[in-house]
Amino acid sequence: MRWKCEAAYDGTEYAGWQSQPNGNAVQDFIERRLAVIFERPVRIHGAGRTDSGVHARGQVFHFDGDWPHGAARLLVALRVGFPRSLQIISVEHVGASFHARLSAVGKRYRYAYYAGHASPFEYRYYWSLGRRSPDVEAMNRGAAHLIGEHDFSAFGANPRDGRRESPVKTLRKLVVTQDGRRIFLETEGSGYLYRMVRSLAGCLLDVGIGKLRPEQVGEILASRQRTSLVATAPADGLSLEKVFYPEMADASVPPDRAVIESEP
């Protein structure tokens, strides 16, 4: 039996998503709980790997395990024993062809800036800009150069695990909005290179404060070369909001899905 799950977490105190020798990654906490439930080691497969300090509202993972009691009881079992910073939102029985990473057709990320110094209740979710007050309109003019299908090599970084992927991605949305001192970059695309969203956030901030011209974003993109002109924004402000999948009807699998009443 294959189970698709959605998790939310505050990444501040975790060593990222991927399992680590120190056992302090999000994956480690979930796998330890599953080992208790199933009384054997259970490996999970995530939709993507968030770095240390990066948050998620909609991280998706799957695992295989025989559980005859239905999704609702599995969700209850999974919501026991985690730190308050990690929560399972939903559990769904899916067909064997589903894969959290390979079946995904897109992702949505949000990056949050604070024009000033964020309060102690918010600082871990924002990049506090201090005295810098970016021009959001200029940031959006720079972002316009990135919409569509492009080679985003100039905004990627070499992944630590050495895994290679195509640098050609399609951005369907990249927009910056402002609500008082809070500034949000939201992006949706077919996929993202390692640290690509944080690179976009850093580059567009430099446009907003006048360090780069909006049209330079297009020039950097066209170069396909990572340079010092592209700054990497801190992890604190980044959140994986949603992973998108095609409608995958499987008549052999009856509908069986459980969701917590109040999602984060």
Catalytic residues: 51
> 66 and 1 in contact (C-beta within 8 Å)?
yes
CA distances from 105 to 21, 199, 242 (A): 31, 22, 11
CA 64 to CA 5: how far, in whole Å? 11
Find the helix packing angle between 214-223 and 136-143, rounded to 10°: 30
CA 175 to CA 163: how far, in whole Å? 29
CA distances from 245 to 16, 89, 240, 248, 255 (A): 23, 17, 15, 8, 16
Q: In 3D, which of 239, 234, 230, 189 has the Cα closest to residue 211?
A: 230
